[in-house]
Amino acid sequence: MHETDNVPTGTGDNNEMAAKKAAKKTAGRKPNAAFMKPMTPSATLAEIVGAKPIPRTEVTSKVWAYIKKNGLQDAKNKRQINADAKLQAVFGGKKTVDMFEMTKLVSKHLS
């Protein structure tokens, strides 16, 4: 090991380093085509998100919008969703579901 091995290269400017990191992150990132492919919701899910084919990402957004609009998020634990009648049908009859399980259950209603 030499004395120069631990010497940082460049100007040491934090803004320069942050800009390089930001450019590196955005350069190789592409949206996953599988998430962007329009999927047709089941009749049960269509009551919440509409019947026309939409991407999975948009389905999740619309389900969350429905949850927030109807105040179905648990007050103490925001990860829990307290399902109303429409959501219970989508969630396989479950009254409460956590947000990670929700995406799995919703995906069963997409084809």
Closest C-alpha among 54, 88, 58, 82 to residue 70: 82
**Segment 88-97 mean pLDDT:** 95
What pTM did the predictor assign? 0.69
CB 83 within 8 A of CB 91: yes
Q: What is the pLDDT of residues 2-49, one digit of tens each?
A: 555 555 555 555 656 655 555 555 556 676 777 788 999 999 999 999
Tens digit of pLDDT for each residue in 79-92?
999 999 999 999 99
Residue linked to tokens 């969350």: 64
For the stretch 38-75, pLDDT in tens is 999 999 999 999 999 999 999 999 999 999 999 999 99
- CATH architecture designation of domain 33-107: Orthogonal Bundle (1.10)
